């Protein structure tokens, strides 16, 4: 008796959207408002609060796994996809050429793979993508540089970042000498200094500590 294969109905193309902000404090509202006219199913809108420095993002990966050939992905701007030039190009090509997904960038009408299917159109789209991807990376590098410069200026003005400096007691050298000579334990030395044993070892790293200690 021959077995007949069960026919499966191909899934109709779906629309998706990827929304990204870099931190939990930032709002994704502006991107969501821009997407409203396109009637994207809520379950196909993937929101991520993570840096665009790479594509190691859980929500993005979940979306890519769900998408099939013929689906359409909306993003507000190319820097929402990412901020690393080479990785943006790589992901764009993976989605459009390997998975067969179309991408529509709302801020840049020329970056719409549902149009420009001919060779010239593809060339123009790839060129625009390359320029905008490079700009996204340069913008990220400028942000990091401005942050570094801001921190340097703040430090020059006396602003202290991170944890408050540990206050060392005036008799620290005597406590350290007694600890080094095994007159007192690490716990006792830390208690006399009024900080933790871990801090004691951190402060005395590179100094002569008790043998075997």
Contact between 197 and 186 under an 8 Å Cβ cutoff? The reply is yes
pLDDT tens-place string over residues 102-151: 999 998 888 888 886 655 455 556 666 666 555 656 565 655 566 665 66
- Which of 134, 151, 169 is a domain's end point? 134
Domain residue limits at 168: 161-213
- On whether residue 30 sits in a domain, the answer given is yes
In a domain? residue 197: yes
- Minimal CA–CA distance to 210: which of 168, 178, 188, 187? 178
Query: Per the domain annotation, does 78 fall within a domain?
Result: yes
Query: Which residues of the chain form beta strands (DSSP E)?
Result: 15-21, 45-49, 72-75, 102-105
Do 100 and 24 share a domain, yes or no? yes
With residue 166 as reference, give the H or E element that holds it. Answer: none
Element (H, E) at 173: helix 172-180
29 and 120 assigned to the same domain = yes
Tally the domains of the chain: 2
Regarding beta strands 15-21 and 45-49, do their DSSP bridges make them parallel or antiparallel, or are they unpaired? parallel
Whether residue 117 is found in the same domain as residue 30: yes
- Over residues 35-66, the pLDDT tens digits come to 999 999 999 999 999 888 889 999 999 999 99
Q: Are 46 and 97 in contact (CB under 8 A)?
A: no
Question: Both 24 and 118 in a single domain?
Answer: yes
| CATH number assigned to the domain comprising residue 49 | 3.40.50.1390
Asked, for residue 105, whether it belongs to a domain, the answer is yes
Lookup: tokens for 132: 């905008």
Examine the fold and report which residue of 119, 134, 149 is the final residue of a domain before the chain moves on.
134
Residue 97 lies in a domain: yes
Look at residue 156 and tell me if it is in a domain: no
Q: What is the pLDDT of residues 8-39, one digit of tens each?
A: 677 899 999 999 988 887 888 999 999 999 99
- Asked if 180 and 82 sit in the same domain, the reply is no
Q: What pLDDT sits at residue 48?
A: 94
Q: Which residues are catalytic?
A: 22
Rounded-to-integer distance, Cα 107 and Cα 76, Å: 6
Residue with tokens 């340069």: 138
Q: Are residues 25 and 119 in the same domain?
A: yes
pTM above 0.75, yes or no: no
Give a yes or no: residue 6 inside a domain: no
Written as six digits, the tokens of 144 are 């990091």
Domain boundary among 134, 169, 184: 134
- If we measure between CA atoms, which residue out of 168, 164, 206, 165 comes closest to residue 189? 168
Together in a domain, 32 and 129: yes
Tokens of 195: 């900080």
70 located within any domain? yes
Cα–Cα distance measured from residue 84 to residue 203, given in angstroms and rounded to the nearest whole number: 39
| Same domain flag for 114 and 170 | no
Residues 129, 172: one domain?
no
- pLDDT per position as a tens digit, 141-198: 655 566 665 666 566 655 555 555 666 676 777 788 888 888 888 888 888 887 788 7
């Amino acid at each position: 008796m021959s077995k007949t294969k069960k026919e499966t109905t191909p899934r109709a193309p779906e629309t998706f959207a990827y929304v990204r902000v870099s931190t939990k404090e930032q709002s994704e509202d502006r991107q969501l408002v821009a997407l409203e006219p396109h009637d994207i199913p809520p379950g196909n809108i993937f929101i991520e609060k993570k840096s665009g420095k790479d594509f190691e993002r859980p929500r993005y990966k979940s979306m890519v796994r769900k998408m099939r050939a013929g689906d359409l992905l909306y993003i507000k701007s190319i820097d929402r996809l990412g901020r690393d030039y080479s990785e943006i190009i790589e992901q764009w090509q993976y989605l459009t050429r390997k998975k067969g997904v179309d991408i529509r960038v709302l801020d840049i009408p020329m970056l719409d793979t549902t149009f420009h299917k001919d060779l010239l159109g593809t060339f123009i789209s790839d060129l625009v993508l390359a320029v905008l991807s490079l700009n996204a990376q340069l913008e990220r590098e400028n942000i990091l540089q401005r942050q570094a410069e801001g921190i340097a200026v703040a430090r020059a003005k006396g602003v202290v970042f991170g944890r408050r400096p540990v206050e060392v007691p005036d008799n620290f050298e005597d406590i350290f000498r007694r600890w080094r000579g095994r007159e007192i334990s690490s716990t006792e030395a830390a208690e006399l200094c009024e900080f933790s044993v871990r801090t004691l070892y951190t402060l005395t790293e590179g100094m002569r500590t008790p043998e075997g200690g």
